[in-house]
Structure 1
Amino acid sequence: MIRLVGAALILFAGTMIGFLQAARFAERPKQIRHLLHALQRLETEIGYGQTPLPEALLRVAKVLPPPLAGLFERIAGELRSASGETVKAAWERIIGGGWASTAMRAGELEAMLRLGASLGGSGRDDQLKHVRLAMLQLQAEETAAREDQAKYERLSRSLGVLGAALVVILMM
């Protein structure tokens, strides 16, 4: 009886691990798409609204789901505080520190860090060019993420179940 309960728990745990990994593959393209919309909104705020960067980041954060909204809110908060930290330093620290809470990978992080290095330190037209460049890089990453999702989402679920079944068979 205890063996059956243990086997059922192992099967359940393995299945959940597989489903959690599959959910991560599914979440990555969604978050990249949200980030692309955020950068489009930021481009509009900078280009047409001529909104100051902290205010523009707060407006962008309002339309984003967590955890991306939190990143933009924290950056805006740092820029509004009188800490004297540059935009680049605040951007790198907050994006780098909060990136683990997203489903995104190093390619997206690199594009965002590159964008942060140019925001607030150059003219409006130059900033808009950097936002557009980051959007192009993220679009390429989104395509790769969708391909990964198609390849690995179902595989992750299956491996979770089959791995747990293997452990149960070896136990018996």
Structure 2
Amino acid sequence: MTEAIEIPQELPIDAVDVRKGPEIHPRLLALLPLLGVWRGAGQGDYPTIEGFRYGQEIRFWHDGRPFLGMQTRSWVMDADGAFVRPAAREMGFWRPGEGDDFEVVLAHQSGIVEVYVGRARTTTSWELTTDVVARTATAKEVTGNHRLYGIVEGELMYAMDMAAVGQPLQPHLSARLSRVR
């Protein structure tokens, strides 16, 4: 027999704003500028696919413990910027290491899991390189990724290089996102 468990009226908040919710963990200070909800558009290209425009929302949140949560959702757009279909999703965690080092664990809906090692290059730029890439039997072959995130003139910009399906590491995605929260 299962014992009934009382659910608290107010569960801890996943804060996207340092002014609300729990106090941010001091070990997250090198990642603090990422905190928030960002939306914008980007371009995707790769030798094995047709180039595409996409929209994206990235949500970085914290709950007072020493990690940032990250959730992304993307959608393919037509030439006029209208929604065509859903695209990639990621969920993961950015975890501080020693000094300016950190690690990122990301899971994708496509069956790929990546572990990145990273370093804060400045107070507003972060570089990540895959240490481990694992995939399910039905996922496409991805052997490595490199990401560069930066806040430029108040906007979050990133570029991602990918090595996949027999191709060497090369540009794949880039986007410019504005803070909406």
> Structure 1-normalised TM-score?
0.25
Work out which structure has the larger RCO, using CA pairs closer than 8 Å and 6 or more positions apart in sequence. 1
Q: Provide TM-score, normalisation by structure 2.
A: 0.24
Higher fraction of strand: 2
Larger Rg, first or second structure (1 or 2): 1
